[in-house]
Structure 1
């Protein structure tokens, strides 16, 4: 009898000590989905709206196990807006049996955690927030198709973001003389209908504004994602359109020839009282639209109302730190020759003298401190002995965000040399911010490129040693995210070897229709107070659509306005000089009630630094690692915890590890079966121990 009991015990041990390996099934959409519906009750949705959906599921006959997962792949007409959001999963008896999570790869992952020894489950997942219109959503009805256990099922929702054929948005800024202006942008034929003739009429009736004649620009435009567009080619009058201007506005006619084409019409109004730009005054503007069309479309009319409130826009000069500037004076003939005793006056952007009779020292430098935020320029009063006076204005900005000195350079030609110079400043046409990274060819009358220059962190570029003659300034590369400007002719004469600074404006290439904004600042990791200028970042939506490209300014800042609620990421697409390109995606989420989410902060390592080598070895492909700083609460991570620094949002860490030949995930989870096996093993050991004990005692 003892032998039989021992044999049974050995068998128990053989079977129970064999590793309990459970295959966790990963079900796809149609394996468990029995039906779904758009369940929020809305008759239409805007691009920033949530779309409520109820998913019905049925696991009859599947024998679900703890650790099993179910992945619902959303079609491109829907998108996950808040990845990382999780909520409990209930069965039909209202018991919690797992969790459901929204993922940035446009899927929903359901993980079953309390289904052991229970069968034939059914239930529903009701998601009313976190899902919105997708990248392939169109104006009007959108079909949502999902596979179910009974075949494909469809439902529809209506997208009403562009039910109007024209919309208007205004931005407050300054003109070249520092006067407050509003740049208005009309989106015309938003639904890209096949119209023949398009007529736009805009006449200013608000007494707080005056129309600026000659300011109208027209671009072909196209959608890049719902609510986001880009300007394509610029139209020319009278070839592409005709315009009749009056003192109060304009009448514009575009020959569309039946094309499915949207247009962006941009123009400027001047604010009559400068105080109204900052005291909360609301400026209103109305425009009307009419068109002709062939076939069933026929003629039609529409309108757009726009408004902007003074004090809502910010640009340079919004900080409170006092800054400084260092001017360095050199010979145009030899960069290595510093020039002492050059006398300059310093002006603000209103043309008022801030300091006068500033003289370069033996090192050719002038150092001015204690400057409040704003735009300034130096102008030479007296040249050094043996050199000609250079009348070019030397422009720069004090941002109020840093105490690091701004560096500018000036050069003079020697006496007796009839050589001139050109100064070019590059500006945002709406905000008047200076733009770094614009590149120009200086072309002589024979078509020869005699100089190639680029704007620095102050938005200015200089060309020296130019003989008397006529030149063409041709922009070869626009700053990141901007449209190239048109060619400009300029003359250098014996009487004017240094013409006044030439201002060239650029329009943003892309835009959005929202009221939200995001700011990013890039720092040098070896000195956390030094911003890094000239880094180019592309902004992507959650589906990987590129929306715009922007560059950091002299303090390492960049800002994107007019954004809609949703989830986005920045990716560095061009590294600044002295730095490697950073492959990390900087993720952030804008909620409906956010106006500005705070500042995204990223720290990058200079080429050759110890930290640079360590990062390349340890984290070559890691996403995240950057933070959002809320100026009101520096310790708060955007107030919501939507940024996960330890996980790549495009490839979320699954709730399992390993794989098997049949593509099912395998895991060694502490499941109920494994716990029972351990208990039986212990019982078997006790039986064997007792048998041995009694046999010895009997002996």
Structure 2
């Protein structure tokens, strides 16, 4: 081989080695994968079970989802997601509820969020983080809060399928066969009366020879002719509601004494059917009108006996009772009468792929059109936030779209309740711009409200059809009463309600909208469309019982303490539920049955001593008053106050409060969520508890995530990727693989070239 040719080949091989090394030094980035569990498709799901088999229609379902990534090809990577679609027997009651996913060492490997998509399908979505380099992840999601009974259920046994895995649960409208409640009203002459409702044989079981005995207290008198009995049934479309035909009271039963002689008691017998759910209605007049405003409690008792007839030992007699009470003028309050200020977090996404959009500008208005703030611009996460908002209704208007996107000028409404400092989360999307005007697309935004109160209504479902009558898709309103549909081609569409919220009549209004540049501002998006619903007078909600616990600081009884974990037990010591106080120091537990209970603190917030005192309370059948239990914690001696950042000059002064005071009236328009300079924005407490789903590792069932990461305010920091544990506020990266093998090949080529060159030198 000639010298020149040899030198050329050596140079060529060396250059090739450098090229190989250069490419090998680059990280190969893989696209994040989504593993979806839907009907017949398990995704990462390996097992599913419903703990505790009996549930009422207002109960929280205790759901466990087992999962594994051992057999995945490729391996599970950062940014991968797992979406579990829930069947119609289950529904998400708290969209936006988040919790952590941890490994057997307690390290966070992902975040989960509960949600409802635009088609009304409930889901649990996990976004994985910190999983690169390990292939054998497996565990369980144990969700005890935020999932309830859906619409497609039956009273009795229900087969529940997630993926291709089945379990069952039994649905009862109530564990009680009998219940009673009263409502204070006015008659035609303005007199105060009470309408009593006794629910008899609620579960439609067999009650032969049933007798109902009612005793009326002396603070009321029976209103002659008001007694009526109706056949009732539970609604299959509105869980927790029952209905009866008010125009068709039954006959054929016996009242003793007869209707005309009823005074302070009566007995009903000889009901036509022994396995029928009945509603017994009657009214009493309040003797002392003053008792309607002084907090006086009106209480009546109903007792029930039934059994088979017979002589000697051949007959059986059973007994039960139901008491109902109602109070007038029992409103209560605390504080100085000033409504609590709230905040809002807006997230702007692409309508194509839900990626966050930076640079969208908005103006914020009150409902009456008063400008609150302008030039609010979304950050790299597509977010902006405004805090210290007074109670009331507001809306955003987009004034400038991000580069490459069409402006969406529909109002984005939200409400600040004034009852707590929760952050309201709203999401809006923009369609990408196209090269030709004819290809531009638009969107629809609807709002569902109660016709009388204008309260926002979740769970309304609408069908959208094009001008030819073809179905385009459906829209379901979220917990803010808002629903969207994006990427609609230009044309005319009709919107019609096909499923009303629980307890409401179906609206017969059909709205027609046009997607095109016919709007005054030239945008392709019509203005906000509002649908009103009227309550279904034939449906009656069967109130479940609930209790509130308020945790306060011993030194300041008006200050709520967040992050305190409490367990609720029956008086017999049976565990019921575990929850953590929210940012206002509150816990609410619903779906409770009459009986005796107690709370006990199981984990104190940072900076506070645990209080092991049992806090007892009683729920009475028919009791309508809301019970609030007050719990007090003392600060630890070394603490400056509940784990907050403190002022060294005065350990009882919270530095965050100082920041908020200095920034009063200055909205956080940079989207960083610092709300007035507080960069941490979590009261210095890194263990903000989610108050919801517990993640249990099969190998360490005693370790869970209670005490970590509270998002009770409903903030979804990034839809589908709630990085609440990501302290640097960056999005998790997609999975990556190093080019180690390629690097070695390049290195061998270079070393071989050097050796060859030196040998022939």
Shorter chain as normaliser: what TM range? 0.3 to 0.5
Compare CA radii of gyration and give the structure with the larger one: 1
Q: Report which of the two has the higher share of strand.
A: 1
TM score, norm. by length of structure 1: 0.45
